[in-house]
Amino acid sequence: MHVIFGGAFNGKRAYVEQRIQGRSVQWLNVDADEHILLPNIEVIVVFGVENLLEPKGKELLEKMEKWDELAEVLVIATEIGRGIVPMDASMRKLRDDVGRFYQQLFTKADSVTRIWYGISQTIKGDE
């Protein structure tokens, strides 16, 4: 599993699209109720993980580990923990929850790439 993360509109999707060019791909939005895998897929791109709340995050991690046995899994994760700390307690909790989920996700990932203003930087594994 390879996680690609960075701020909103920093080039994560463009990075992934370049990486998967010419391969059979299935895009999976985690906000969707069902995650049905198509046959003969080489790459599964998972996005929207910053919108997950427990216990769905743990369930998704387990699913992604199984999917990783079937195809290459790329996870696009938007960084929401930088910048000004929100005044609203529920927004602070969401930020903290996403941060803890990302720690688990990054631990399980074979490689992690940060995209910042279109520049990629491998921070775990080989590119």
- pLDDT tens-place string over residues 37-58: 888 999 999 999 988 766 778 8
Confidence of residue 28 (pLDDT cuts 50, 70, 90): very high
Secondary structure (H, E, C), the chain:
CEEEEECCCCCHHHHHHHHHCCCCEEEEECCCCCCCCCCCCCEEEEECHHHCCCCHHHHHHHHHHHHHHHCEEEEEEECCCCCCCCCCHHHHHHHHHHHHHHHHHHHHCCEEEEEECCEEEEEECCC
Question: What is the C-alpha to C-alpha distance for residues 79 and 98, in angstroms, rounded to an integer?
Answer: 9
Task: Report whether pLDDT(123) > 80.
Answer: yes
Query: Could you count the other beta carbons within 10 Å of the beta carbon of residue 30?
Result: 19
Note the pLDDT tens digit of each residue in 68-109.
Answer: 999 999 999 999 888 788 899 988 888 888 899 999 999 999
Q: How far apart are CA 9 and CA 14, in angstroms?
A: 10
Tell me if the pTM is above 0.95: no
116: nearest Cα among 15, 42, 20, 48: 15
Residue 7 has pLDDT above 80, yes or no: yes
